[in-house]
């Protein structure tokens, strides 16, 4: 990650914000009854992946993936995944 610059982290922040906006717009489309919200959501997803592709030019993919994954999970989501991993480990060790 030696060649990571501020612009790459800015692209990552934009990608995360666009992804959050896309989820809000798609939810607002009410199952595509309001097509303009759905189309706006899909446009945000495409723009988000474009920004993400620019971000990984300077940030390692594993770091970018972790940042992307972290924004998608709330604390309960992280706790749920931790409980699943713990359960699998306990089953393997039993």
Confidence of residue 87 (pLDDT cuts 50, 70, 90): confident
- The model's pLDDT over 26-76, given as tens digits with 9 standing for 90+, comes to 999 999 899 999 999 999 999 999 998 998 888 887 777 777 666 666 555
> What was the pLDDT predicted at 76?
59
> What was the pLDDT predicted at 41?
94
> What was the pLDDT predicted at 83?
77
The pTM of this model reads: 0.68
Radius of gyration of the chain measured on its C-alpha atoms: 17
Distance of alpha carbon 18 from the chain centroid: 9
Residues 23/38, Cβ–Cβ less than 8 Å = no
């Amino acid at each position: 990650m030696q060649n990571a610059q501020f612009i790459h982290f800015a692209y990552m922040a934009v990608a995360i914000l666009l992804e959050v906006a896309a989820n809000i717009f798609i939810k607002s489309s009410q199952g595509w009854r309001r097509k303009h919200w759905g189309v706006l959501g899909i446009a945000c997803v495409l723009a988000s992946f474009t920004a993400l592709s620019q971000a990984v030019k300077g940030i390692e993919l594993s770091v970018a993936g972790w940042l992307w994954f972290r924004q998608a999970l709330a604390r309960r989501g992280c706790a749920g995944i931790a409980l699943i991993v713990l359960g699998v480990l306990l089953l393997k060790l039993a």
